[in-house]
Amino acid sequence: MHDKVVLLDLENNMPSAKLLRNMVEHYPTLYLFNCAGQFQYSLEDLTEFSSWVVSGQVVILETPEAIEKEFEYAVVTGQLMALVEPETHIDVISAMPSCDMLLDMMRSSDLHCSLIQVEAETSATTPVLPSIQTIQEKPYLQMVKKYCDALGKMTGKPNTVEKLRNSVANILQIVPEKAQHLVGMLINLKIVKRIDEQVAYRKKVLKEWTELELDHPVAGTEIQDTATPSRMKLEKIDQILEKLRGDSQQVLTEIDQQDSVEAVQKVLFKNFDKIDPVQIEVIQKLNDLKTNKPKDIYELRDLLEQMFPKSDIRLLLKELIEKGYIYWNGHEVVYSHEMYLN
């Protein structure tokens, strides 16, 4: 029975460390070409990979940069003629449509070979950075941006899923469940690459995230005169936040000027006669959440939109603010005593 080796074309076909390990276990020699990209493996996997190269189990072939594929394939074929023993069968694994040309050259050089065609990594897998507007509208994306900024300053990054989850929880000061969700987002956004329980970082994507300036428009873009619905919605929320700050200070000032419990109640209940049934239902539903009430103004907005899809949430928030049910302390939404009494 003749020996079998593998010729692996890495163009649009970068294998995981686990797949590479399986190949090394089943084939005596693995020849790689088109190794232009970096191997995005964990340190442990890279150490194992280097040992395969040193032992000769993995051989990296020289691949010239050429406009025409014929020249590139001719150089690869020439190296195989010098390295591979006669009668050895070569399994060629490639995702390139032009690989038939390589097999023709190998066969014409008396190399025994067969093709294993695999699916190419399409451009759809290329990481796409969310727009600044999208990040500003999504609290979780804002947390991703904040953690990326922290990652960019780290000298030793977490190298396992568990360490990454703990790091996210500590830096962002969030509960483990949210940290796990953030880890999933880091992976889905192609910032982090998971290999089994190990993690690696895509430096180019991470750099793009760290260089994002959320307070400034993207260079080269023009601000449109007509705001999009999402932008208008965001601006309304910003107006609400400003009003929360102002109204909360006004309520606190009025309370400070009164000395008696009756005076405090007068401030709190001054709009009591203007309550409508929808507001009562909102208060009751929020009270049912007890300690799980949203602290973030955007989360509160989203929750109210889910509970009351047919209501004008902008107007509803405005009423809750003006009547003193909620106010802003500079960090989070605070629910007043009037809400609990109602």
Instruction: Report pLDDT digits (tens) over 202-218.
Output: 888 899 999 988 765 44
278 near 316, Cβ under 8 Å?
A: yes
Burial class of 181 by CB neighbour count within 10 A (0 to 12, 13 to 18, 19+):
middle
Residue 21 sits at φ, ψ, to 5 deg, of -65, -40
113 near 89, Cβ under 8 Å?
A: yes
Round to whole Å and give the CA distance between 251 and 324.
Answer: 8
What's the N-to-C CA distance of the chain in angstroms?
85
Closest C-alpha among 70, 89, 97 to residue 31: 89
Query: Angle, to 10 degrees, between the axis of helix 161-172 and the axis of helix 139-153?
Result: 110
User: Long-range contacts: 18-27, Cβ < 8 Å, 24+?
Assistant: 18/195, 18/196, 20/49, 21/48, 24/52, 24/57, 24/58, 27/91
In angstroms, the Cα distances linking 201 to 118, 138, 223, 287 are 25, 23, 33, 43
Closest C-alpha among 199, 181, 179, 202 to residue 190: 202
Q: How many CB atoms lie within 10 A of CB 240?
A: 20
Round to whole Å and give the CA distance between 324 and 339.
Answer: 8
Question: Which residues, in sequence order, are bridge partners of residue 200?
Answer: 193
In angstroms, the Cα distances linking 334 to 115, 175, 242, 258, 262 are 65, 20, 14, 21, 22
Round to whole Å and give the CA distance between 118 and 12.
Answer: 10
Average pLDDT per consecutive 10 residues, the chain (342 residues; last block may be shorter)? 83 83 90 73 82 91 79 90 90 85 91 83 61 88 93 89 92 89 87 80 90 62 44 61 60 56 53 61 78 80 84 79 69 66 47
The b/e string for 43-63 (b: 16+ C-beta within 10 A; e otherwise) is eebeeebeebeeeebbbebeb
Domains by residue range for the chain, with CATH: 4-121 (3.40.50), 127-210 (1.10.10), 229-341 (no CATH)
11 near 95, Cβ under 8 Å?
A: yes
Round to whole Å and give the CA distance between 172 and 140.
Answer: 11
81 near 109, Cβ under 8 Å?
A: yes
CA within 13 Å, CB half, 48: 12
pLDDT score recorded for residue 1:
46
Query: Which uninterrupted H or E stretch holds 160?
Result: none
